[in-house]
Amino acid sequence: MALMLMKSVRNSPVTSSWLINIQLSNSLCGFFFPGFSKKGQPKSKKTLAKSGVKNIVLVEGVRTPFLMAGTTYNDLMPHDLARASLQGLLTKTGLPKDAVEYLVFGTVIQEVKTSNVAREAALGAGFSDKIPAHTVTMACISSNQAMTTAVGLIAAGQCDTVVAGGVEFMSDVPIRHSRKMRKIMLSLNKAKTFGQRMALLGKMRLSHFAPELPAVAEFSTGETMGHSADRLAAAFGVTRLEQDEFAFRSHNFAKKAQDAGFLSDVLSISVPGKGMVSKDNGIRPSSLDQMAKLKPAFIKPHGTVTAANSSFLTDGASSTLIMSEEKALAMGFKPKAYLRDFVFVSQDPKDQLLLGPTYSTSKILEKTGLTLADIDVLEFHEAFAGQIMANLKAMDSDWFAQTYVGKKSKVGSVPMEKLNTWGGSLSLGHPFGATGCRLVTTTAHRLRKEGGQYGLVAACAAGGQGHAMIVEAYPQ
Amino acid sequence: MTGMRAVGILSRFATTRTYVNYEVKDDVAVIRINDPNSKVNTLSAQMQSEMTQVMNEVWANGAVRSAVLISSKPGCFIAGADINMIEACQTEEDVTAISQEGQKMFEKVAKSPIPIIAAINGSCLGGGLEFAIACQYRVATKSKKTILGTPEVMLGLLPGAGGTQRLPKMVGLPAAFDMMLTGRNLSADKAKKMGLIHHLVHPLGPGLKQPEGRTIEYLEEVAVGLAKGVASGTVPVKPQKRIMQKIQDYIMGIPLVRQQIYKTVGKKVAKQTKGLYPAPLKIIEAVQAGLEKGSEVGYVVESQNFGKLAMTTESKALVGIYHGQVTCKKNRFGTPEKEVTKLAVLGAGLMGAGIAQVTVNRGVGTILKDTSEVALSRGQQQVYNGFNEMTKKKRITAFERDTSMSSLSPQLDYSGFDKVDMVIEAVFEDMDLKHKVLKDVEAVISPHCVFATNTSALPIKDIAAVSKRPEKVIGMHYFSPVEKMQLLEIITTDKTSKDTTASAVAVGLKQGKVVIVVKDGPGFYTTRCLATMMAEAVRALQEGMGPKKLDSVTTSFGFPVGAATLLDEVGIDVGTHVAEYLSKAFGPRFGGGDIEVMKAMLEKGFKGRKSGKGCFIYEKGSKKKKVNPGVEEIVKKFKLAIPASVSSDLDLQFRLVSRFVNEAVMCLQEGILSGPVEGDIGAVFGLGFPPCHGGPFWFVDSFGADNLVQKMRKFEEVYGNQFTPCQLLLDHAKDSSKKFHK
């Protein structure tokens, strides 16, 4: 009944539903009286709610602790981490397993045994085998893609309750035999006689045994991402000191947030044979002097990107529960935020590999009619400190906006006091496929904590792609 | 007080300098070069004098501990010495003096009290490279535009400013010989591996400024850092050598080994140049003098050889070709109204696929159309194989290969032809077929679309006769194999519009071709010249000269491919076709050999290389060419007696060459050619006319028109009007002050 009423509310003009609204639920207030932000100046737009479009909400977001690759998670498999995050989500929300209609997970480096890791994790976590699941991949914005896929499913009326997540497991990656070796091995399958088999084995050479390692390199250009980041930093004149300072800031903010207990999305999980893990282990506030001592990691010796100002290889998984607002309310949930609008962008994978946030921010702001000043919380993915600084400079440049983005003027100067104040990928870690959910969940949590209305998530990804999403606080 | 005055004078100098300037950053002098009047920096007299001033100031400045040498010009460090400066010299001694000046300047750089870092972005060639290797340290951008090399040999010269002395010490004897004797360009990567440069800097993409400018700034920043490091000793100036290089250096330290190398290289050079090019031997001489007798002697030999070479006709001819090539890389018809962004090629044969390959290589969307699935698939494979070869040689990446291939759309019908800006047909050379194709195409293309026909002999005006829009019809004569041959001969009729011509030239240049534009007529320019020579070659066969003999007299004149081999390469079928056609058009002047010889060859299936048998027998995997006994038999049937007065090798050589040259001059006389430069370039790049002779017109100038006429008259007595010199040649013979090239 309530459900039906709400539908009519949503579909009717705002003013005419005035009375019903009050009777219905307090929590719907935000829908009609949004923008009651305690913070900042009046907004360009009171809400991003659109008539005729379903409101889609983030009900909850959780993640496993993000650990440096090769540490406590060493002996697990990717779906174990994903499973842990799913179970955490269930525990935290009390969501009945059969209430979920669909699962989507993002991942980048696939474990070939569990290439549809979403399905394996769901089964392992005890979800009904009647719930379909699929896995998406879009480099570092894979779980952003998972979340927007969920948004799409709900908006299209396919589902009301979707779990979107992401997982990355860098402690173990598929290392393959060489192509020549694989060819012989595959032919061996087809060989029928002993003679044929021996002839094939005779073809093997020592060099065929050299393995093929996966590289964090662009397929189209062959350039590693760190190398591209170093060139990007140089193109924007980002100094080594600026990068170290930004990384230093990230670690300090992360430490403070961790100590203050702000990182409430982090689950405690039990690792077989190793015990409980409940904290990210990559947060290491150091000193600028210490950081200055490191040698460049990619462009030697004159580069500026080092191990200390880059994100590190990380294991981790994250999950979010995304629902239509009406369903969430009907089930008695208290949503954390609206997932309002999003864009995906892409550009030259060589020279603009990591400039996604600049393009996506510009595009989402234009699309939603907001300005940078309307944004209370900024969560940008920190692949490299140099990449973040380059993006900040690009967004603050009219020349760049006009020459490359095709806009009349720049996005503006990003207010640092609003950016990644609880740490970022540099310090918390960056499990490629799982970072997107962390960004969105953190944005929702920060909006709550800081009392803002609009949050902006932006990220870059391999392939020269990028993503941005506007998250709007759910009225408390 | 005097010091103060000196500073005043110096600063006044600084303001008037336009080529070289410097500023001091911390304790590093950053010396920037930029020729304000040219796209490239050359070591002109003014550049050198300003450089000397600046260097002296830098050395005199006690606060400077190191220096960086950098160009502010995008895409060019220093492209070499100023050729005009050498051309302006009247005597050997003058040129030697220029060389010595360069040697002295770079010697000072090499002995500089402070380290000098060459920061290289763009072309670093010839004198530019010699400058760079005189510096203590070299850093270069890993841009595609950054190329290093010593191309002097291609101009018939040698690296005359210390290059023959420094290079062998730096990269080892074999690599130095390879660089100096071939003149080929090295990429920055390759140069790093060879130890020619110390450090690489990657070019930057978009930032807060134009990428090119920012890359130069970045290179400078890195170079300044390195300069400080070199000055303080933290950055080693000796490049780290790989083990193989160390072993090689050790072996090269043995005098006997070196002697053996001089000998082997000398032999190889003699074999390849057939003694027609003096520069390679002079390079070996200068290197040998330096290594065996000490650098003092080496420098003297280098500068003297440089002077000698500059005065040779070979060098002058090669410099002429260089200038000609530069001219033919420009579009003298202006920018076309509409740039060709989509093109269609009709016929996926050897030619058609080749044209498609060079077009998609430049990112122009190309339709490749044929009438049969089999032919189309073969053509597509040819294009793929072409790119795959480039990938294997690391000239392009696999990704670039794939994107190029996706610009190619092979198809059997005319769909999408309404959107193309140019159609190049490369169907079989048959007038009826060409007419049919032209009509079919005109029915589907848009009004602005240019119709180009690739033919080696059929007059364009006859093909255009059935066109509804003859102003849009033009000839584009490509040479096989298209992806390797540099020339494109464009043929205009009286009706072809200027914009159509501009469009065709623009496409040719985009395809990386050297373009000549000639007037319409049977055989145009190149085919006409070649046909006369081929007719003479067949006659020589009938006179009992074997194919091997024929090849050797032509290659010893400097042709890269002998006449008999060339006949096989062109194809006996195509040759016969063209010869018959041109004989009809021009009459007995195009006679010589009996056309029936070629027809008899065709009857036996001897089509040339493509059928495995022509004058020679071609077997896969075997490089040795055997004479085809079948041809010898045929020739016997058509045997001609050879008059004793014209039977020497030299006579035979000149019979072949003089007909070629006479026909070229006649093309100029008739206005088929617009000038001698295009005639020379067409003959050298399209037909392999010996570069050491500079092309037919250079050859007439240097050999003497009167001498040539004299020879021709002798042949005329025996053979008749095929050797009658044309009027223009006679004019030049009469008046020795008349030259084709001033």
pLDDT tens digits, residue range A391-400? 999 999 999 9
CB contact under 8 A, A235 and B204: yes
Whether B399 and chain A come into contact, CB under 8 Å, resolves to yes
pLDDT over 80 at B198, yes or no: yes
pLDDT over 90 at B656, yes or no: yes
Q: How is chain A split into domains, by residue range?
A: 56-173+221-473, 184-212
Residue B243 binned pLDDT confidence (cut-offs 50, 70, 90):
confident
What is the interface pTM, i.e. ipTM, of the complex? Answer: 0.87
Residue-wise pLDDT for B293-326, tens only, equals: 999 999 999 999 999 999 999 999 999 999 999 9
CB contact under 8 A, A235 and B225: no
State the greatest distance between any 2 C-alpha atoms of chain A, in Å, as a whole number. 86
CB contact under 8 A, A404 and B206: yes
Cα separation, B673 vs B517, whole angstroms: 8
pLDDT over 70 at B217, yes or no: yes
| pLDDT confidence of residue B510 | 96
Of A221, A222, A236, the CB nearest to B207: A236
Percent of chain B topping pLDDT 70: 97
Q: Which residue of B has its CA nearest to A302?
A: B222
| pLDDT confidence of residue A17 | 38
Of A222, A235, A302, the CB nearest to B206: A235
Residue-wise pLDDT for A19-61, tens only, equals: 333 333 334 333 333 334 445 568 888 888 888 889 999 999 9
Residue-wise pLDDT for B369-421, tens only, equals: 999 999 999 999 999 999 999 999 988 999 999 999 999 999 999 999 999 99
Superfamily for the A56-173+221-473 domain: Thiolase/Chalcone synthase (3.40.47.10)
Judged by phi (left if over 0) then psi (alpha if -120 to 50, else beta), residue A261 lies in left
Asked if omega into A301 is within 30° of 0 (cis), the reply is yes
Of A227, A234, A390, the CB nearest to B218: A234
Contact residues for A64 (Cβ-Cβ < 8 A; gap 6+): A81, A84, A85, A88, A266, A267, A269, A277, A316, A317, A318
- Topology classification of domain B533-604+630-734: N-(1-d-carboxylethyl)-l-norvaline Dehydrogenase; domain 2 (1.10.1040)
CB contact under 8 A, A351 and B226: no
What element of type H or E holds B266?
helix B255-273
pLDDT over 90 at B262, yes or no: yes
Give the distance, in angstroms, between the CA of residue B511 and the centroid of all CA atoms in the same chain: 14
| pLDDT confidence of residue B237 | 87
CB contact under 8 A, A219 and B399: yes
Q: Which of A179, A220, A230 best probes binding to B when mutated, by most B CB atoms within 10 angstroms?
A: A220
Q: Which of A179, A239, A302 best probes binding to B when mutated, by most B CB atoms within 10 angstroms?
A: A302
- Highest mean pLDDT, choosing among A214-223, B13-22, B89-98, B566-575: B89-98
DSSP helix/strand/coil, B141: strand
Rounded to the nearest angstrom, the minimum Cα separation between A425 and chain B is 23
- Measured between beta carbons, which residues in chain B are less than 8 angstroms from residue A404? 206
Residue A459 binned pLDDT confidence (cut-offs 50, 70, 90):
very high
**Catalytic residue flag (residue A460):** yes
Whether B84 and chain A come into contact, CB under 8 Å, resolves to no
- Measured between beta carbons, which residues in chain A are less than 8 angstroms from residue B227? none
Q: What is the mean pLDDT of residues B28-39?
A: 95
pLDDT over 80 at A210, yes or no: yes
Of B205, B225, B226, the CB nearest to A231: B205
- Measured between beta carbons, which residues in chain B are less than 8 angstroms from residue A400? 206-208
Of B205, B208, B214, the CB nearest to A393: B208
Contact between A237 and B207 under an 8 Å Cβ cutoff? The reply is: yes
Q: What is the mean pLDDT of residues A326-330?
A: 97
Rounded to the nearest angstrom, the minimum Cα separation between B201 and chain A is 9
CA quadruple A455, A460, A461, A467: dihedral, nearest 10: 40
- Measured between beta carbons, which residues in chain B are less than 8 angstroms from residue A227? 202
Residue-wise pLDDT for A237-295, tens only, equals: 999 999 999 999 999 999 999 999 999 999 999 999 999 999 999 999 999 999 999 99
Contact between A154 and A323 under an 8 Å Cβ cutoff? The reply is: yes
- Measured between beta carbons, which residues in chain B are less than 8 angstroms from residue A237? 207-208
Residue B246 binned pLDDT confidence (cut-offs 50, 70, 90):
confident
Q: Which residue of A has its CA nearest to B203?
A: A231
| pLDDT confidence of residue A15 | 36
pLDDT over 80 at B680, yes or no: yes
Q: How is chain B split into domains, by residue range?
A: 20-311, 342-511, 533-604+630-734
Closest to B353 in 3D by CA, of B418, B416, B424, B292 = B424
Q: What is the mean pLDDT of residues B152-171?
A: 95
| pLDDT confidence of residue B361 | 87
CB contact under 8 A, B201 and A302: yes
**Which CATH number applies to B342-511?**
3.40.50.720
CB contact under 8 A, A390 and B218: no
CB contact under 8 A, B205 and A235: yes
CB contact under 8 A, B206 and A397: no
Closest to B470 in 3D by CA, of B490, B495, B453 = B495
Contact between A345 and A363 under an 8 Å Cβ cutoff? The reply is: yes
Cα separation, A243 vs B689, whole angstroms: 61
Cα separation, A326 vs A5, whole angstroms: 10
CB contact under 8 A, B225 and A302: yes
pLDDT over 90 at B432, yes or no: yes
Q: What is the mean pLDDT of chain B?
A: 92
User: From 3.90.226.10, 3.90.1150.10, 3.30.70.920, 3.30.70.3270, which CATH number describes the B20-311 domain?
Assistant: 3.90.226.10
Residue-wise pLDDT for B489-536, tens only, equals: 999 999 999 999 999 999 999 999 999 999 999 999 999 999 999 999
Contact between B277 and B314 under an 8 Å Cβ cutoff? The reply is: yes
Residue-wise pLDDT for B451-463, tens only, equals: 999 998 889 999 9
Tell me the residues of chain B between 481 and 540 that have a Cβ less than 8 Å away from chain A.
none
- Measured between beta carbons, which residues in chain A are less than 8 angstroms from residue B222? 302
Residue A101 binned pLDDT confidence (cut-offs 50, 70, 90):
very high
Alpha-carbon separation of residue B381 from B372, B378, B659 (angstroms): 14, 5, 40
Cα separation, A313 vs B230, whole angstroms: 36
Instruction: Provide the annotated active-site residues of B.
Output: 489
| pLDDT confidence of residue A40 | 54
Q: What is the mean pLDDT of chain A?
A: 90
pTM of the model: 0.89
pLDDT over 90 at B699, yes or no: yes
Contact between B119 and B69 under an 8 Å Cβ cutoff? The reply is: yes
State the greatest distance between any 2 C-alpha atoms of chain B, in Å, as a whole number. 98
Q: Which residue of B has its CA nearest to A304?
A: B222
pLDDT over 60 at B558, yes or no: yes
Rounded to the nearest angstrom, the minimum Cα separation between B50 and chain A is 31
CB contact under 8 A, A302 and B204: no
Ramachandran angles phi, psi of B109, nearest 5°: -65, -45
Q: Which of A179, A231, A298, A402 best probes binding to B when mutated, by most B CB atoms within 10 angstroms?
A: A231
Closest to B423 in 3D by CA, of B484, B352, B486, B375 = B352
Contact residues for A42 (Cβ-Cβ < 8 A; gap 6+): A35
DSSP A252: H
Cβ-based contacts under 8 A for chains A and B: 55
Q: What is the mean pLDDT of residues A351-380?
A: 97
> Would you call B481 exposed, middle or buried from its count of C-beta atoms within 10 A (0-12, 13-18, 19+)?
middle
Q: Collect all residues from A whose CB is shorter than 8 A from any CB in B.
A: 219-222, 227, 231-232, 234-237, 299, 302, 348, 350-352, 355, 390, 393-394, 397, 399-400, 403-404
Q: What is the mean pLDDT of residues A417-435?
A: 97
Residue B679 binned pLDDT confidence (cut-offs 50, 70, 90):
very high
Cα separation, A197 vs A199, whole angstroms: 5
| pLDDT confidence of residue A41 | 66
Q: Which residue of B has its CA nearest to A351?
A: B205
pLDDT over 90 at A143, yes or no: yes
The catalytic position among A29, A140, A159, A437 is A140
Whether B208 and chain A come into contact, CB under 8 Å, resolves to yes
Beta bridge partners of A277: A269
Percent of chain A topping pLDDT 90: 80
Question: Helices A225-235 and A385-395 meet at what angle, rounded to 10?
Answer: 40
